[in-house]
């Protein structure tokens, strides 16, 4: 018997730890490339101020990076600790990108980040620049592999279910890596990170410009960040559109919830809702303002494709649930008896297996074989209703994300324009807006995560494995223990993080320059004869 | 001799880049867009800074004209 | 089928190498973290100790992350089952591990003794606890774990977590693991530290090596008396990767010695481990820390492969439903998956080893307390 409370607590814990981790990730993705850009200018022009910029923003980056690394540890292990059925079911294909992420990305990022911070006096300019670029590449490659893994959850390609091992087996590496969902999501997410990084650098620089502090330093940082941000923010919107179309093609339930489409309409009538208060219970809007004939071309990119609404999706899910129940009953028989007839029965309804799992929670004693003609309709009804994610949450998280996305385009456009004209200080309101906008991209990223993952519900692997089925069979007490601990530790971390961020951002770069005479932390070996001055080194064989 | 090696090495890098571009272009259009786009974003940001230095040298910026090279 | 068996064995070996790499590199940093309060009496000394591993701890930690990822991919059912059955200790491990990156980055950013003192305690906890848990996991697995599977492959736990926490044999393995970490960390502090730091580290490291050697021998004797696991009949190593409907498994006292009886060459492994610990301690006594560091690595290799060699092909035996024990044969990924992963491992592991070596080369040399104190950037 699966305990619904444990599943809910596991979901809560995963959502909280993932959302928390994702507070820090976007800034890392963007800041690394901004740091690399700044250092590129330093190497090209040889002007010291660009080195100072790289180091100062690098320090703020480091404060953020530490928590990103720490909370990332949780994510790597949480699949195993809390989602055992999920890990067993898809580990053969889902684990692979995670392992490759470690091999290809984490090692690169983490090894070179140490050299980036501490190697200034030990590496040539060119070598240090290469190190900084490798950190940027490494952190973005880790985004690539985790999003390839996530792409599989959204649109499971490259694997098929094997009744012998009771799990999804990896079939095509190419299909997994080049999955359209993974591709678009990778670009969308990293660009969102670029926007976050650009907004951070620009906002803090705007704060200095407003206070007429560190003006030369701030004006240059502002210029670079604004240009970085304007292109990134335009591109992030483009990719958002691409993702919307993908959802239309492979996750119609997500799209219906995002746009709050309760009923299928004759194309191209489908209205685009500017504002609505969707009510999931009655499947109606309590209130809405909408423009007809907009959504079809917006989502489908044509005027003839119908956009399925919640009613049609639920209707088609019912048939799948009925077939799915047959599939799961046959699968269970095959699993315990290895009877070829049962296997044949399973094969007949294989593609709807996931919908059978979905019905399991409503069956008597969670046992599908106990379903009778009498209780079948109500079970099918409930399971089909479950295939629709929470529309209110989906609708609003999506809308807020999109709204913020357009706000960023506007803010960056003005900022880039006035920065290029060197007239920033004539527009204090703009500078103020830029400062206050610092946390907004992070917020948009969180809404984006909610849109993507709430819209995936009720599945962990879309169409194949329900979330309800995926969790570990823990006691409630276990979950309370870990939740309390995470809440405590993560609260301490964020308090320390914000304290240090504000402290060092307020302190600013000049203080930082006068306090540090760039003293090398380590004793340099004599130039040209590596290590020979140092006896302990001479007899070792690291190399 | 060193020139030949250098040319060969550059040719190898070029061939690798072309292969990557062709594979990415064929199977992963968005990956290709990311490679090109990120490079472009970095370069435009760098170009903005270089432009700033030009404007600064020409006296087009509101900042006092002292080369900020303290160390 | 033949290729599949070869891939399974290869990945079992790679798993051993990965766990060893994790133990050596992460263990070293954990050892430094554990010793921090003891080798560094003043703030400057503690910062020096941190600066010694400062540029490398993050890269080293990836061995830990990769360990999780590689088990997930190569042995998915093992990943799912072990992390969930050991939930309480895994969460404790995570809690202590996640303190460490934050402690490194934040400790020296505020010049207040209470702030720094608090983070120093975090270093102690996040150094000692994970190593104890790491060793204890081996100890628990050697004794078998109480779990079974449902028809759909979901695990069910049959034992209380109290047993994992307070299990004398597992605790002994935990202390063995911590001792080796202290040894390895101490050796590193001697390589790159000077004066009092190196001297204090030397004393702790020698003790660590000696305690590890004693516990390793004690563990070897103890294992003779615990129940090991063995297949009742020869099995097909190419079997489908599912723990359900598995072949009969027996629990016999001393069964973990079977592999050593069949392949006497395996005795080289414990000999290697013990030699590493003893000779390592002597080389530290003789003030040859670099040699000592490498002997410490040898000790880890010997220790982990001794445990692996004894258990092979078992990965996590079930003490309550032995026939559903997880083995190299029934818990692995598919042939296709293992093949692709091997391609990536072959391509990237040499690259990782070379740039890690380069990073250590770039940052080589002694770390002096005066320069660390003068540098505000330093940890």
Per CB-CB distance under 8 Å, the chain C contacts of A487 are none
User: Residue range A364-388: average pLDDT?
Assistant: 85
Q: What is the DSSP letter of A539?
A: T
Task: Judge whether B51 and A45 are in contact, CB under 8 Å.
Answer: no
CB contact under 8 A, A482 and C340: no
| Residue C67: φ, ψ to 5° | -55, -50
pLDDT at C25: 92
Helices (H), A338-473: 340-349, 353-360, 376-386, 391-420, 428-436, 440-454, 467-470
- Distance (Å, whole) CA A425 – CA C20: 58
Q: What percent of chain A has pLDDT over 70?
A: 94
Touching pair C, B by Cβ (3+ pairs < 8 Å): no
Nearest residue, CB atoms, A232 vs list B41, B53, B61: B41
pLDDT value for A536: 37
**Cα–Cα dist A524/A124, whole Å:** 14
Counting beta carbons within 10 angstroms of the beta carbon of residue A395, is it exposed (0 to 12), middle (13 to 18) or buried (19 or more)?
A: buried
Nearest to A84 among C68, C155, C365 (CB): C155
pLDDT tens profile A119-143 = 888 888 989 999 999 999 999 999 9
- Please indicate whether, in this complex, the C-beta atoms of B49 and A50 are within 8 angstroms of each other: yes
Residue ranges of domains in chain C = 2-374
How far apart CA A431 and CA A415 sit, in angstroms, is 8
C112 CB neighbours in chain A (<8 A) are none
Report residue C224 CA to chain centroid gap: 23
Are the beta carbons of C216 and C270 closer than 8 angstroms? yes
Name the residue ranges covered by the structural domains of chain B. 2-57
- A185: closest CA of chain B, how far (Å): 9
Angle between the C113-143 and C2-39 helix axes, to the nearest 10 degrees? Answer: 140
- Report how far apart, in Å, the C-alpha atoms of C298 and of each of A287, C137, C272, C294 are: 71, 21, 7, 6
- CA C18 from centre of chain: 9
- Nearest-Cα residue of chain B relative to residue A242: B30
H or E element that contains A488: helix A476-515
Q: Which of A260, A257, A187, A234 is nearest to A405 (CA)?
A: A234
- CA count, 13 A, side-chain hemisphere, A375: 16
Mean pLDDT of chain A: 87
Q: How far is CA A198 from the centre of its chain?
A: 18
Range C323-331 average pLDDT: 91
Q: Is the pLDDT of residue B67 over 80?
A: no
pLDDT of residue A456: 92
Residue A313 contacts B where some CB pair is shorter than 8 Å: no
Characterize A330-342 residue by residue with b for buried, 16 or more Cβ atoms within 10 angstroms of its Cβ, and e for exposed.
Answer: bbbbbbeeeeeeb
Q: CA-to-CA distance for A539 and A527, rounded, in angstroms?
A: 19
Q: How far apart are the first and last CA of chain A?
A: 56
pLDDT at res. A515: 41
pLDDT value at position A518? 44
CB contact under 8 A, B34 and A187: yes
pLDDT of residue A541: 36
pLDDT at A378: 87
Residue C108's pLDDT band (cuts 50, 70, 90): confident
DSSP assignment of B16-62, as one string? HHHHHHHHHHHH-HHHHHHHHHHHHHHHHHHHHHHHHHHHHHTT-SS
User: Per-residue pLDDT for A174 more than 80?
Assistant: yes
Nearest CA in chain A to B34: A187
Cα-to-chain-centroid distance, residue A413? 26
Q: Do A112 and C359 touch (CB under 8 A)?
A: yes
Verify whether the Cβ–Cβ distance B45 to A225 is below 8 Å: yes
Report DSSP letters for C171-207, one per residue. Answer: HHHHHHHHHHHHHHHHHHHHHH--HHHHHHHHHHHHH
- In chain C, residues 101-140 whose CB comes closer than 8 Å to chain A: 101-102, 104-106, 109-110
Distance CA C206, CA C214 (A): 12
**Is the pLDDT reported for residue C277 higher than 90?**
yes
Cβ atoms of residues A466 and A86 within 8 Å: no
| pLDDT on residue B21 | 81
Task: Tell me the residue length of chain C.
Answer: 379
| Measured distance CA(A540)–CA(C190) in Å, rounded | 13
Segment A302-316 shows an average pLDDT of: 86
Locate tokens 């409930």: which residue? Answer: A382
Whether A457 and chain C come into contact, CB under 8 Å, resolves to: no
Top-confidence residue, A518 or A366: A366
List, for residues A176-235, the tens digit of each pLDDT value.
999 989 999 999 999 999 999 999 999 999 999 998 888 888 999 999 999 999 999 999
Q: Taking 60 as the threshold, does the pLDDT of residue A525 lie above it?
A: no
Share of chain C above pLDDT 70, in %: 100
* Cβ atoms A358, A466 nearer than 8 A: yes
What's the mean pLDDT when you consider all of chain B?
83
Q: Which of A102, A516, A521 sits opposite C66 (nearest CB)?
A: A102
Cβ-defined contact of C344 to A67 (cutoff 8 Å): no
A417 and chain B in contact, CB less than 8 A: no
For residue C172, pLDDT beyond 50 = yes
β-pairing, A167-170 vs C147-149, is: unpaired
Of chain C residues 23-62, which have a CB less than 8 A from chain A? 51, 54-59, 61-62
What is the separation of C-alpha C300 from the centre of its chain, rounded to a whole number of angstroms?
A: 8
Please indicate whether, in this complex, the C-beta atoms of A232 and B49 are within 8 angstroms of each other.
no
pLDDT of residue A119: 87
Of the candidates A49, A434, A428, A234, the one whose C-alpha atom is nearest the C-alpha of residue B52 is A49
- Contact check, Cβ <8 Å, A516/C69: no
Q: Which two tokens stand for residue A350?
A: 């294989």
Distance from CA of B4 to the nearest CA of A (A): 23
Cβ-based contacts of B67 with chain A (< 8 Å): 47
pLDDT at A30: 94
- Say if the Cβ atoms of C99 and A170 lie within 8 Å: no
User: Has residue C183 got a pLDDT over 80?
Assistant: yes
pLDDT of residue A39: 94
Angle, helices A125-154 vs A180-210, to 10°: value is 130
Nearest to A209 by CA among A221, A200, A226: A221
Say which of A113, A534, A542 has its CB closest to residue C361: A542
Residues 6+ apart with CB under 8 A from C157: A473, C84, C85, C146, C147
Say how far apart CA A151 and CA C263 lie, in whole Å.
46
Among A153, A169, A151, A150, which residue's Cα sits nearest to residue A161? A169
Question: What is the distance in angstroms between the Cα of A478 and the nearest Cα belonging to chain C?
Answer: 7
- Nearest-neighbour CA in chain A from B45: distance (Å): 5
Residue A268 phi/psi, 5-degree rounding, is: -100, 35
Contact C73 A112 (CB under 8 A): no
- Name the more confident of C159 and A51: A51
- The answer to whether C365 faces chain A, any CB pair under 8 Å, is yes
Q: For residues C202 and A38, what is the distance between their CA atoms, to the nearest angstrom?
A: 43
pLDDT of residue A143: 93
Closest-approach residue (CA) in chain C for A58: C377
Mutation for testing the B interface, residue in A30, A32, A41, A173 having most B CBs under 10 Å: A41
Q: What is the ipTM of this complex?
A: 0.89
In DSSP terms, which residues pair with C227 in a beta bridge?
C253
Q: Which is more confidently placed, C20 or C368?
A: C20
State the burial class of residue A124 (Cβ atoms within 10 Å of its Cβ: 0-12, 13-18, 19+): exposed
Element of type H or E holding C93: helix C87-106
Q: Does B17 touch chain A (CB under 8 A)?
A: no
Q: Which of the other chains make 3 or more beta carbon contacts under 8 angstroms with chain C? A: A
Reduced to 3 states, what is the DSSP secondary structure of residue A167? Answer: strand
Contacts of C61 in chain A (CB under 8 A): 69, 73, 110
pLDDT of residue C307: 93
pLDDT of residue A537 exceeding 80, the answer is no
Q: Do A33 and B71 touch (CB under 8 A)?
A: no
Residue C371 has pLDDT above 50, yes or no: yes
Looking at residue A523, its pLDDT comes to: 39
pLDDT value at position A510? Answer: 61
Output the pLDDT for position C1.
58
DSSP A248-279: HHH-HHHHHHHHT--S--STT--PEEEEEEEE
A 482-521 near C (Cβ less than 8 A):
482, 485-486, 489, 493, 496, 500, 503-504, 512, 515-517, 519-521
**In whole angstroms, what is the distance from residue B70 CA to residue A55 CA?**
15
């Amino acid at each position: 018997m699966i305990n619904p409370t444990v599943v809910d607590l596991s979901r809560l814990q995963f959502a909280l730890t993932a959302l928390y981790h994702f507070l820090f990730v976007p800034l890392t993705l963007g800041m690394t490339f901004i740091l690399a850009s700044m250092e590129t200018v330093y190497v090209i022009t040889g002007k010291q101020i660009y080195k100072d910029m790289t180091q100062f923003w690098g320090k703020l980056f480091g404060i953020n990076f530490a928590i990103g690394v720490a909370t990332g540890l949780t994510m790597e292990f949480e699949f195993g600790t809390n989602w055992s059925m999920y890990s067993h079911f898809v580990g053969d294909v889902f684990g692979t990108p995670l392992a490759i992420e470690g091999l290809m990305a984490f090692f690169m990022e983490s090894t070179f980040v140490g050299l980036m911070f501490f190697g200034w006096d030990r590496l040539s300019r060119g070598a240090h620049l290469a190190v900084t670029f490798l950190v940027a590449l490494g952190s973005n490659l880790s985004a690539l592999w985790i999003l390839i893994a996530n792409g599989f959850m959204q649109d499971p390609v490259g694997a098929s279910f094997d009744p012998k091992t009771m799990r999804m087996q990896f079939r095509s590496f190419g299909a997994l890596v080049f999955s359209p969902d993974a591709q678009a999501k990778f670009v969308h997410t990293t660009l969102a990170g670029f926007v976050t990084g650009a907004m951070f650098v620009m906002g803090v620089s705007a704060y200095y410009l407003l206070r007429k502090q560190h003006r030369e330093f701030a004006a240059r940082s502002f210029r670079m960040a604004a240009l970085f941000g304007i292109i990134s923010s335009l591109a992030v919107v483009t990719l958002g559109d691409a993702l919307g179309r993908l959802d239309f093609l492979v996750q119609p339930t997500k799209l219906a919830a995002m746009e709050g489409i309760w009923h299928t309409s004759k194309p191209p009538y489908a209205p685009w809702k500017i504002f609505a208060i969707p009510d999931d219970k009655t499947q109606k809007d309590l209130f809405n303002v909408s423009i007809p004939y907009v959504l079809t071309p917006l989502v489908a990119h044509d005027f003839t494709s119908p956009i399925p609404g919640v009613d049609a999706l639920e209707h088609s899910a019912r048939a799948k649930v009925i077939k799915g129940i047959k599939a799961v009953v046959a699968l269970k028989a095959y699993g315990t008896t290895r009877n070829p007839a049962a296997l044949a029965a399973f094969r007949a309804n294989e593609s709807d297996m996931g919908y059978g799992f979905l019905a399991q929670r409503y069956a008597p004693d969670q046992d599908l074989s106990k379903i009778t003609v009498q209780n079948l309709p109500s079970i099918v009804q409930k399971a089909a209703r479950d295939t629709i994610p929470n529309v209110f949450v989906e609708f609003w998280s999506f809308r807020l994300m999109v709204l913020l996305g357009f706000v960023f385009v506007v803010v960056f456009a003005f900022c880039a324009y006035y920065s290029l004209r060197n007239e920033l200080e004539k527009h204090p309101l703009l500078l103020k807006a830029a400062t206050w906008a610092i946390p907004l991209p992070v917020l948009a990223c969180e809404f984006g995560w909610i849109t993507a993952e709430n819209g995936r519900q009720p599945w962990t692997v879309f169409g194949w494995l329900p979330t309800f089925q995926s969790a570990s069979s823990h006691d409630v007490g276990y979950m309370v223990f870990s939740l309390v601990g995470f809440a405590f530790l993560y609260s301490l971390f964020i308090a320390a993080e914000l304290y240090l961020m504000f402290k060092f951002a307020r302190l600013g770069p000049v203080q930082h320059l006068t306090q540090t005479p760039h003293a090398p932390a380590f004793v340099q070996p004599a130039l040209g004869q590596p290590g020979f001055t140092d006896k302990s080194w001479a007899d070792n064989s690291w190399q | 001799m060193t020139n030949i090696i250098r040319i060969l090495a550059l040719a190898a890098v070029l061939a690798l880049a072309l292969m990557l571009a062709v594979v990415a272009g064929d199977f992963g259009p968005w990956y290709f867009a990311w490679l090109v786009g990120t490079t472009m974003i970095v370069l435009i940001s760098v170009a903005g800074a270089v432009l700033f230095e030009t404007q600064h040298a020409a006296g087009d910026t509101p900042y006092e004209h002292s080369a900020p090279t303290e160390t | 089928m033949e290729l599949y068996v070869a891939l399974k064995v290869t990945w079992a070996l790679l798993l051993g190498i990965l766990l060893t790499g994790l133990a050596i590199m992460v263990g070293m940093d954990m050892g430094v973290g554990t010793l921090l309060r003891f080798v560094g009496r003043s703030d400057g000394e503690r910062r020096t100790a941190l600066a010694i591993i400062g540029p490398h701890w993050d890269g080293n930690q990836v061995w830990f992350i990769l360990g999780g990822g590689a088990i997930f991919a190569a042995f998915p059912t093992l990943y799912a089952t072990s992390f969930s059955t050991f939930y309480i200790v895994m969460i404790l491990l995570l809690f202590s591990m996640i303190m460490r990156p934050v402690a490194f980055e934040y400790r020296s950013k505020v010049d207040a003794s209470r702030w720094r003192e608090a983070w120093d305690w975090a270093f102690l906890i996040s150094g000692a606890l994970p190593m104890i848990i790491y060793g204890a996991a081996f100890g628990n697995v050697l004794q078998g774990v109480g779990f079974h599977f449902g028809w759909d492959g979901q695990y069910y736990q049959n034992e209380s977590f109290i047993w994992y926490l307070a299990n004398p044999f597992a605790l002994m393995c935990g202390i063995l693991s911590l001792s080796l970490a202290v040894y390895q960390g101490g050796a590193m502090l001697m390589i790159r530290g000077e004066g009092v730091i190196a001297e204090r580290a030397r004393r702790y490291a020698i003790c660590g090596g000696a305690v590890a050697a004693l516990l390793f021998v004690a563990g070897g004797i103890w294992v003779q008396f615990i129940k090991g696991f063995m297949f009742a009949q020869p099995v097909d190593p190419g079997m489908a990767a599912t723990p359900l409907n598995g072949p009969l498994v027996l629990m016999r006292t001393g069964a973990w010695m079977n592999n050593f009886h069949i392949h006497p060459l395996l005795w080289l492994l414990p000999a290697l481990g013990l030699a590493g610990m003893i000779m390592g301690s002597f080389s530290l006594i003789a003030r040859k820390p670099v040699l000592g560091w490498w002997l410490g690595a040898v000790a880890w290799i010997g220790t982990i492969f001794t445990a692996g060699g004894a258990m092979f092909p078992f990965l996590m035996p079930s003490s309550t439903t032995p026939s559903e024990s997880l083995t190299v044969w029934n818990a692995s990924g598919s042939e296709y998956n293992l093949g692709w992963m091997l391609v990536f491992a072959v391509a990237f592991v040499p690259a990782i080893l070379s740039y890690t070596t380069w990073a250590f080369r770039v940052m080589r040399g002694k770390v002096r307390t005066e320069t660390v104190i003068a540098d505000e950037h330093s940890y």
